[in-house]
Amino acid sequence: MSIRPLENLWNFALDNPEISIAIVTALSGGLTWLFRTYQKPVRDWLHSRKVRKGRTNGRDSGKKPKTPPSPQNWFVNVGEHRGHLKWEDCVRYGCISAGGGARYRRALQKLKLGDTVYAYITGSGYVGAGKVSSIAVPIDKFITQPHNTPLVKRELATTNINNQLNKLDTDWVAGIAWSKIFDRENASRKTEHYITTACEIQDDKRLASLRKTFGT
């Protein structure tokens, strides 16, 4: 491509500065007029594209937000053997534990915040009811109050707690805000219990009996 025309234009600008300034001024004014005239239409167009894109992505698709699951009611057996927390420690530090294998750990991991737990001691009966205040974690990760102290460093009635390096076999602990508790000597036997570590209470008659006993 020849650069001769560009040289001619440059030479003309140098030889005719008044004309060159007038041309530049006119162009500048034209660009200013274009900007002021089309600024709002362009901005509105860009905004409409953004809105349409949002609808395409489902943010304004008319779909109803998902309803959070309703709190559930759980039966949990206070093991009190093989290093599981004794009932006295569960009450004192606001928690409940299970572990020693995948089946028991997974049962406790099903507890969600706000769920209601009914605690049962084999051979005694139902001893407490409360709301889940924190989800299950390995026992060495469970923090108690005051002073954010790990449970494993507290003075416990439980001896030889099940605290293993293998997180699959160690005890897991969930926080419970107990609303009503009984000593094991005064445990309630009015309601039939389950033969398991933890399970959701789906029997309406059994649940009604527990609610009456604990006022939940």
Query: What token pair was written down for 177?
Result: 């805000």
| Residue 174, φ and ψ in degrees, nearest 5 | -115, 145
What is the pLDDT, as a whole number, of residue 19?
60
Q: Are strands 125-138 and 116-121 parallel, antiparallel or unpaired?
A: antiparallel
pLDDT tens, position by position, 115-142: 999 999 999 999 999 999 999 999 999 9
Between 65 and 112, where is the model more confident? 112
Query: What token pair was written down for 31?
Result: 């660009």
**Residues comprising the chain, all counted:** 216
Selection from 215, 210, 174 nearest residue 194 by Cα: 210
* Angle value at C-alpha 187, between 138 and 82, nearest 5 degrees: 35
What is the pLDDT, as a whole number, of residue 33?
59
Give the torsion sign (CA, 126, 133, 169, 85).
Answer: negative
Under 8 Å between Cβ of 161 and 171 = yes
Q: How far is CA 129 from CA 90, 188, 216, in A?
A: 12, 11, 8
This model's pTM is above 0.75: no
